[in-house]
Amino acid sequence: MLFFVSTVLASLLLIPSYALPTGSHGDHRPGFPRLPPVFHGGILCGLPIPVVQRFLCPRQDGGSPLTVSTPFGNAHGASDDSGTTRFAVKYANHNRWQASTVVTSWLLPNGQSDPTAMPMACPQTDLNSSAFVEDCLSMVLYVPDSVKSGSKAPTLMWIHGGSFTFGSANGPGLDGSKLATATNSIVAVIQYRLGALGLYAPSGETNLAVKDVMTAMTFLQRVLPSFGGDASQITIAGQSAGASMIRTLLAVPSAQNLFKQAILQSDTMDYGFYTPEIHQTLLNHFKASLSCSATDTTCLNALSLTDILNAESDLSGAAPGLTPAANPAEPLRPVHDGTLVTSTFTPITPFPRVNKPLLITTVNDEAGFTIYGGVGPGGLDPATYEFMVDSAFGQKSATTLLAFADYAVPASANSTDGDGGETDVTPQLQQMGTDQVWRCPSWTFARNWVSNGGRAFVGEFVVGASYPGNEEVPFCTDSGVVCHQDDIEIVFGTAPNPTPAQAALIQEIQARYSAFLRTGNPNTDSLRTWTAAGTSNVHATQLGASGEAPVGGCDPSLWGAAVPYDYQTLGL
C-alpha cells in the first residue's frame, strides 16, 4: 500500500467545496505541522487553511536586576512580581552550517546589554527579518525565588515546536515563570537552528539542530548549580516538533548522560526519521538552489539569509515530489545517520534497550485545526469522505478503516440532517487524522518503550486552552474541544482568564510534572493514580477528566497492523 497517491490532488480540486482559494499557500504555525495545499502523506494533508500567523509574544516587562556568579562569569537577570527571576543568555557559538560549541563567557542574546531583553528568533520564512538573527542559540532561564544556591532543584528544559522550521523561545504561552514557581524547579526554554540552517548543511554534516539541543543541555549542566539547580536532574520536554526532537535525542547514545527523563507532548510519531539516502536527495536539491558550490566556504558564508530562506522554501515545496517520505506537513526532519542517531524506534532497526522514564501525551482533537480548517463550514459529505480515505490509504486499508466504528459512515447517512443537507462526516475524518498521526503511533511507541526496559506514562488532554491562532478555526473554540497546541498554556499555566476546569487541570498537571521531574513518576499522594503503561494496555489517563481514554482505533490490531503507519509503508 502506498499512501501518497498522486491522483488525489487532481480529483479533489475538481470538487468545488475543496478547491484551493486563489492565492492560498497553506499555513504554518509554531508547534503545528506545516500544511501546504496538497493532499499528500496520509489523511491530514491537502486541506488548505488560510489563517493569520502568530509567532512571537515576548515578555518585555522590566524588573529589578539580579546578578549571579557562574562558571561563565556574572549572569544578569531581572526579577518581577511573578516570583521568579528571568535570565536570557546565549548558550552557544556557531559558524554557519557547523556544529555549535558551548560559550566561554556569559553573554546576553543578540549583543544586548539590557538583561530584560528577550532572544530574537532563529531565521525562518514568513517572519520579518527584523525579528530574527542567525546568531540565535539562546535560552531563557526562569528561576523561582524559592530556589537558592545549594537547593538541588530539578530543571525542565522546554523545546519549542514548529515543524523544525518555525517557532522560538518567545512563542505564545511559553513564559516559564508560573511553571517554575508551581513546580519549584528551574525552567529553561531554548532555541535551536531551524530549517536548512539546522538540518541541511551543504557539506553533508547532518543533524546540526539536534547537536544544538545537546549543546544547550551541556551548558545547563555546567551552569545550573550556580542557580540552585541539580545538573543531574534535567528533564527535557517539548510539544509537536519539539517532542519529535526529543524522540530523536532518545535515539542518540551520546546524549543519554545529558538528561534524566523526558516529556513528549503531541509528537507526530507517524513521521519517521529520514534515511541517509532520502536526506541526500533533499540536500542535493537544496544545494542546487544555492549560488555556491558545497566546498566554497567563503561563498556559502557570504550568502544572505534571504537567499538561504528562499532556497529552503523551494526545498520544502519540492520535497514531496523528490521522495514520498517527505510529508508536506514536516518536509525537513532529522536523519537516522547511523552515527549520531543510531535507532529509528521502528521495525527498520532493532529497538534498543532503554531505561529512562517517559511521559507521553496527546490531545483529544489533535487533527481538529487541520481537518475542520480545510473542510470548512460546509462539512464533508460521505461520498467525498470515502473517496478521500480510499485514495489516501488504498482500497484494502480503506475498507478496514471505514468498517471501524469510530471512522464508519453512519447508517443514517442516506437521511437528511434536518437542514436538508447530507450527513456531515467531518468528525470521523478528524478522529482518523488524530489517530493516524498522533494518538495511535504514540501508544505504539509507549508499548515498545516498556517492552524494552523503560517506563512510560501515557495521557490525553480532554481539557485545554485554545492556543493563539486556533480561534481561526471555529471548531477549535467549541466547548470540550482540545486542538493541537491547546495543551501548551495548560502546562505553562499561562491560559488567560482560565475557567474552573482549566484552573483545576493547570494545578493538577503542574503538580504531576513537579513529581515527574523529581521521581520519574507523575503520581502524588493527593491525586488519583496515573497507571503506568504496559506492553499491551497503555492506560492512557484522561487529563481534565476521570478515568482512562477509550482505546478506539489505537487497539494494536488496527493501526500499525491491519493499517500500517506511514513510517512502516515508507521504510523509515
- Where do the structural domains in the chain lie, given as residue ranges? 64-147+164-239, 276-322
Q: Do 429 and 390 touch, CB atoms closer than 8 A?
A: no
Q: What pTM was computed for the model?
A: 0.90
Q: How far apart are alpha carbons 26 and 39 in whole angstroms?
A: 12
Q: How far apart are CA 429 and CA 324, in angstroms?
A: 22
The span from the CA of 499 to the CA of 465, in Å, is 9
DSSP states along 20-81: PPTT---EEETTEEEE-SS--SSTTTT-----------------EEEEEEETTEEEEEEE-T
- Catalytic residues, which ones? 240
Check: CB of residue 211 under 8 Å from CB of residue 100.
yes
3 state SS for 492-537: HCCCCCCCHHHHHHHHHHHHHHHHHHHHCCCCCCCCCCCCCCCCCC
Pair 356, 446: CB distance under 8 Å: no
| Pairwise CA distance, residues 239 & 183, whole Å | 19
Q: Which of 86, 147, 69, 59 is nearest to 77 (CA)?
A: 86
Q: 150 Cβ partners below 8 Å, 6+ apart?
A: 228
CA–CA separation, 255 and 252 (whole Å): 5
Q: How far apart are CA 18 and CA 376, in angstroms?
A: 9
Dihedral pair phi/psi, residue 293, rounded to 5°: -80, 160
CA 432/CA 430 separation, integer angstroms: 5
Give me 285's grid cell.
536539491
Secondary structure in 3-state letters for 380-442 = CCHHHHHHHHHHHHCHHHHHHHHHCCCCCCCHHHHCCCCCCCCCCCHHHHHHHHHHHHHHHHH
**Single-letter amino acid, residue 285:** H
How is 253-297 classified by DSSP, letter by letter? GGGGGG-SEEEEES--TTSPPBPHHHHHHHHHHHHHHSSS-TT-H
pLDDT in tens, the chain (572 residues): 333 333 332 333 333 333 333 333 333 333 334 333 222 233 343 333 333 223 333 333 444 558 999 999 999 998 877 899 999 999 999 999 999 999 999 999 998 889 999 999 999 998 899 999 999 999 999 999 999 888 999 999 999 999 999 999 999 999 999 999 999 999 999 999 999 999 999 999 999 999 999 999 999 999 999 999 999 999 999 999 999 999 999 999 999 999 999 999 999 999 999 999 999 999 999 999 999 999 999 999 999 999 999 999 999 999 999 999 998 889 999 999 999 999 999 999 999 999 999 999 999 999 999 999 999 888 999 999 999 999 999 999 999 999 999 999 998 875 554 444 689 999 999 999 999 999 999 999 999 999 999 999 999 999 999 999 999 999 999 999 999 999 999 999 999 999 999 999 999 999 999 999 999 999 999 999 999 999 999 999 999 999 999 999 999 999 999 999 999 999 99
